Amino acid sequence: MSMMLERLKQEKVVAIFRGIEDRHADGAAEALLAGGISLMEITMNTEGAAGMISRWLDKYGSQAGIGAGTVLDLEMAKEAVAAGAQFLISPNLDEAVVEYGLKTGVPVWPGVMTPTEIVRAWKAGAEAVKIFPMGSLGLKYLTEIRAPLDRIPMLATGGVDLANIADYFKAGACAVGMGSKLVNLEWVKSGRFDLLTERARKFVEAAKSV
């Protein structure tokens, strides 16, 4: 098990930064760190993602695990790894990306939905998978696929909020990926970083209490 997967299982929450403006990014990262969330992914479809990843590694690398999200193909994987990404998360399964991750020692957690895709990703060498889109699939789906596939660590992304986060863990997720419910871009734009910290703290408490 990679150190990053161990950390994922321990910390249980990955913050997803999608579409954040570069000038607000550092303030948002610092607000989440202050609230106790230290695993962060910047999606590759965010403008300037590679630059943000390498800057965050310089600034927060001692405290945070910085990864790239929405890594769709090998080209994006190479760009993310060159920027210093410590893990790669995708909405899809591309075996070439998993292979590249194994070669470079960067964990890849690909996006999968069906039992067939989950096992394919596992056999390709992914040490964990991202079940997506959980918001549409629902918790019952997670419970059902966990029964026969309980050996494969699953990160659940989509539909997580304060009211149901505990249910995700009870259903068998080892961690959750959280976007706008955590990284609220309205708050970011209006400089309300205190609200981000408070929200992060609540999610961390809810995740730890499971």
**Active site members:** 41, 130
Rounded to whole angstroms, the Cα distance separating 204 from 53 reads 23
| 103 CB neighbour count, 10 Å cutoff | 10
Nearest residue to 126 via CA among 103, 154, 98, 104: 98
Helix-strand-coil percent breakdown of the chain, rounded to 5? 50, 15, 35
R_g (Cα) of the chain, nearest Å: 16
* Angle ∠(168,5,67) on CA atoms, nearest 5: 95
Hey, what are 126's tokens?
Answer: 């992914």
Helices marked H in 151-192 — which ranges? 165-170, 185-189
**Is the separation of the CB atoms in 91 and 121 below 8 Å?**
no
Rounded to whole angstroms, the Cα distance separating 38 from 1 reads 19
